[in-house]
Amino acid sequence: MRLDELARRLEIAADGLAHMRSELASEDPLKPPGRGPAQELITMVNSAWAQRQTNLASLTSEVTELADGVRLAAERYAATDGSHQWMP
């Protein structure tokens, strides 16, 4: 697989993650039915859900940065590849 192909696949993955995050963000948090253990449990679930959203945002950002880095490496490689040709 060439670097530009890898960069494109990473871009597609980042787009998929961003779409997934957008869909998950549209979900409303759970509302506690009352007090006591149920409220504590729902608070914990909502907190875990928020943390998952944060982690997904971070992963999306990192995959996007990786795609950018791979694309830049592909461009630099292509630019220097022609200048390193063997001369008899």
Half-sphere exposure of residue 52, counting CA atoms within 13 Å on the CB side? 14
pLDDT of residue 87: 46
**Mean pLDDT, all residues of the chain:** 87
Residue 41 CA to residue 10 CA, distance in Å, equals: 37
pLDDT of residue 28: 82
Q: What's the rounded mean pLDDT across residues 37-66?
A: 92
pLDDT single digits (tens) 19-39: 999 988 888 888 877 788 888
Cα angle 65, 19, 21; round to 5: 85
* Alpha helices (runs of H) in 1-88, residue ranges in sequence order: 3-25, 37-81
pLDDT category of residue 83 using cuts at 50, 70 and 90: low
